[in-house]
Structure 1
Amino acid sequence: MSTSKGGGTSTFVIRWVNCISMIVAAAVIGYGVWMGIHHDTCRKSLTLPITGLGSIMFLVSIFGFLGALKNNSIFLWMYLLMLCLVLVGILVFTVIVFIVTNGGSGHNVAGLRYKEYQLQDYGSWFVKKLNNHHNWKHIQSCFVKNETCNSLSKRYKTLKQFKLAELTPIEAGCCRPPSQCGYPVVNASYHDISFHPLSSNKDCKLYKNSKAVKCYNCDSCKAGVAQYIKTEWRVIAIFNMILFVVLSMIYFVGCCARRDAARISSKS
């Protein structure tokens, strides 16, 4: 008697959990389509992963909802199988993210409130992808189009404000030359590069004050992008760990619902 009641409860939970997840999945798909229509090519790269994730969520939720609604053990078997594959995928992806994003903690520089980053500190996968000419040209065009560096002079009106600024890794690496170059800072968008650089770092000669050039071809810029990606991916990995725990609990409840459905089918 108590087992049957527990099974009914698990079926009820699976039904409503998947009903809610179908609504969420539809919203995710809609957001992915909206991004593809309204955003430029710099952000459209996220359209396919977001839409794909929403589609997988929707498909899995349909099988879970219908299986729990009709007490259909076959649908629930398919639901559990797909959910298991999703759990394995999340686990594998999270482990890969932590491996790939290992390293690159940044370097403190006296007088600066932010860190500077060096490309060689990051893994070979990051270096290979960022050194790819096609990949980097696309990223570089996004900096110019979005005026990543040009906005600094609008935010920091005086030299004092700029020196006290807490720049992001991309701003620190792409919008200014490395501090080891020793170029005097005139304002947020201009460095006096008439001086001979104090360092042999090739980034010192690559930097230009031009809005279209800046330090976009520098290794320090690539390192800033690597740090930005690392931070974003680590946040996603932490979210995935939480999602893995939640889905594991749902999977356990789904197993109870499947067992209850199989019992009802055998009695009928």
Structure 2
Amino acid sequence: MVSKTELLFLFQLNNTHNWKRLKSCLVKSEDCNNLSKRYKTLKQYKSAKLTPIEAGCCRPPSECGYPAVNASYYDLSFHPISSNKDCKHYKNSRAVKCYNCDSCKAGVAQYMKTEWRVVAIFNLVLFVVLSLIYFVGCCARRNAARSGSLPKF
């Protein structure tokens, strides 16, 4: 079940202007191009646990059937087995890869969902800590007022 927030976020990703800005950040990040440096052999690459962005943006969908030459290059001379439109969008070019694919948008959405969950948990913990500090401060002030140790203005 997809929540309203997730639907709104996916709608924002499908906005062409928003996606162009986000895509330019993905291209500049060099995540896809660093895969071949991180995984020296094809065996290492195939057994690696890729992030949602790496899996969605850096390679064509597996249903396309393109064989991997290395971690950042696929043999596109094979005709796609699938009718998935992402198969036609993938190119080996550093600036293209699968950045225009729906699988890339889904990978970015999954990554954002995970990251925002971490931020939300951090904010909740911070709120509890600050509330406790405030509560202790209020109690200390009240106790100090009762004992008469606070200066009168």
Q: Structure 1 length as normaliser, TM-score?
A: 0.51
Alignment deviations for residues 186-234 of structure 1 (CA, whole Å, 9 cap, x no partner): 1111112222212221111111111110000011111111111111111
Does structure 1 residue 175 correspond to structure 2 residue 58?
A: yes
Q: Partner residue of 2:95?
A: 212
Secondary structure (helix, strand or coil) at the match of 1:186 reads strand
**Structure 2 residues without counterparts, runs of 5 or longer:** none
Q: Partner residue of 2:74?
A: 191
Q: Partner residue of 1:256?
A: 139
Q: Give the partner amino acid of 2:27.
A: V
Aligned pairs, how many? 149
Q: Partner residue of 2:85?
A: 202
Distance 1:182 1:261, change over 3 A: same
Task: Write the distance in 1 (CA, Å) between the matches of 2:141 and 2:17.
Answer: 50
**Structure 1 residues without counterparts, runs of 5 or longer:** 1-97, 101-122
Q: Structure 2 length as normaliser, TM-score?
A: 0.85
Q: Give the partner amino acid of 2:28.
A: K
Greater relative contact order structure (CA < 8 Å, 6+ sep): 1
Q: Partner residue of 1:72?
A: none
Q: Partner residue of 2:115?
A: 232
1:160 aligned residue (32, 37, 43): 43
Task: Write the distance in 2 (CA, Å) between the matches of 1:218 and 1:151.
Answer: 20
Q: Which has the higher helix share?
A: 1
Alignment deviations for residues 72-114 of structure 1 (CA, whole Å, 9 cap, x no partner): xxxxxxxxxxxxxxxxxxxxxxxxxx973xxxxxxxxxxxxxx
Runs of 4+ in 1 over 6 A off after TM superposition: none
Task: Write the distance in 2 (CA, Å) between the matches of 1:210 and 1:237.
Answer: 36
Identity across the alignment (%): 75
